[in-house]
């Protein structure tokens, strides 16, 4: 029976039952409510109908309480599903939100698992039924393909990796999009560095000069700066070059690599001047200076400088000079690997 017909059916049956009993027995019955002076005198038929209706109302109360419980549970699950989806969204965009509280046992357990994970969407996901998550998947794939998105549309925080990727995509399209980032202290160093390297690779000397003091140099930036100097894009003094290298904590190999990369790109006098200044200001550049001296066949100068070094150091240089003295000639590169 459909529930909506149940109350009407009981009402009719109760009335019919009352008439039927009244026709059989029309006597009355008195009942005094315990601990009170209230006495009710009614026909037996009416008492029976009253009892039926009392049970009917008790039944209705149980039915409604059960349905109300199911309604509350459904709403709790529906609300937890919405919150759970939001948690997943926040995980994808790396956004922190403390007010997302799950209430049902299942979603609490799943939520605790999600809290301990980093979520990265797979590419080409098309079978996701949740439209919000589906849009995030599409957004993520667009970012990975180098596209620029509207970060405000997805509420992506500035601290998110996706924000950084999006900014990098924008800078790749036009290095000028990163100029404001270089000057802004609120951006992470990784992004400022990316914008600055893009500037070094694409801007002219005048624009580079404008921004070159807006960021601290790590080794990657220092190498890029020395590279564009060697290629003749900007002008740097030997003091500036030395400071850049020292502040970036160049190793012996770093110095050697930049000196090697300058071979044939700057004139020999400038090459010697730079390598000597670097060596005089940082012992890590000593090997690079010896490389220049040997490449330019400035053997006496190399010998004189070698005298100031302990006998157990620069054995490769000493071997090269000994071979030269013996009339043997080998490529300098063999001694600087």
**Secondary structure of 300-314 in the HEC alphabet?**
HHHHHHHCCCCCCCC
The answer on 14 and 68 residing in a single domain is yes
Does any domain span residue 277? no
Chain length of the chain: 337
Does any domain span residue 250? no
Does any domain span residue 12? yes
pLDDT tens track for 42-84: 777 777 878 777 787 887 788 778 888 788 888 888 998 988 8
The answer on 70 and 138 residing in a single domain is no
* Chosen domain end from 138, 173, 208: 173
At residue 42, the pLDDT reads 76
The answer on 140 and 85 residing in a single domain is no
Model confidence, pTM: 0.75
Q: Which of 185, 207, 213, 180 is nearest to 195 (CA)?
A: 180
Does any domain span residue 330? no
Does any domain span residue 255? no
Ranges of the chain with pLDDT below 70: 1-6, 29, 31
At residue 201, the pLDDT reads 95
What's the number of domains the chain is made of?
A: 2
* Chosen domain end from 93, 112, 144: 93
The answer on 129 and 61 residing in a single domain is no
Does any domain span residue 83? yes
pLDDT tens track for 258-276: 999 999 999 999 999 999 9
Does any domain span residue 313? no
* Chosen domain end from 112, 143, 173: 173
For residue 152, the enclosing domain spans 120-173
The answer on 126 and 78 residing in a single domain is no
Chain-centre distance for alpha carbon 57: 58
Does any domain span residue 103? no
Degrees to nearest 5, angle at CA 321 with 315 and 324:
140
């Amino acid at each position: 029976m459909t529930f909506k017909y149940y109350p009407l059916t009981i009402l009719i049956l109760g009335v019919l039952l009352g008439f039927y009993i009244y026709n059989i027995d029309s006597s009355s019955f008195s009942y005094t409510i315990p601990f009170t002076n209230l006495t009710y005198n009614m026909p037996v038929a009416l008492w029976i109908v009253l009892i039926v209706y009392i049970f009917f109302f008790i039944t209705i109360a149980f039915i409604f309480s059960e349905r109300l419980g199911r309604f509350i549970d459904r709403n709790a699950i529906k609300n937890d599903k919405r919150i759970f989806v939001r948690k997943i969204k926040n995980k994808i965009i790396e956004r922190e939100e403390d007010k997302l509280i799950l209430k049902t046992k299942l979603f609490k357990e799943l939520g605790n698992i999600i809290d301990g994970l980093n979520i990265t969407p797979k590419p080409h996901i098309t079978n996701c039924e949740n439209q919000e998550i589906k849009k995030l998947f599409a957004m993520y794939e667009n970012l990975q393909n180098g596209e620029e998105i509207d970060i405000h549309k997805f509420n992506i925080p500035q601290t998110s990796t996706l924000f950084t990727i999006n900014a990098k995509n924008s800078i790749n399209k036009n290095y000028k999009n990163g100029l404001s980032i270089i000057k802004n202290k609120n951006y992470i160093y990784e992004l400022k560095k990316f914008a600055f390297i893009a500037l070094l690779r694409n801007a002219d000397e005048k624009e580079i000069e404008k921004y070159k003091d807006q960021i601290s140099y790590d080794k990657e930036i220092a190498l890029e700066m020395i590279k564009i100097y060697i290629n003749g894009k900007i002008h740097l003094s030997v003091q500036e070059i030395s400071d850049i290298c020292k502040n970036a904590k160049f190793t012996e190999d770093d110095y050697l690599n930049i000196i090697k990369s300058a071979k044939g790109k700057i004139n020999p006098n400038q090459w010697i001047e730079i390598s000597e200044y670097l060596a005089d200001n940082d012992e890590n550049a000593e090997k690079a200076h010896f490389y220049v001296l040997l490449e330019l066949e400035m053997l006496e100068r190399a010998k004189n400088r070698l005298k100031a070094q302990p006998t157990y150091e620069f054995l490769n240089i000493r071997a090269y000079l000994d071979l030269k003295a013996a009339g043997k000639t080998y490529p300098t590169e063999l001694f600087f690997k």
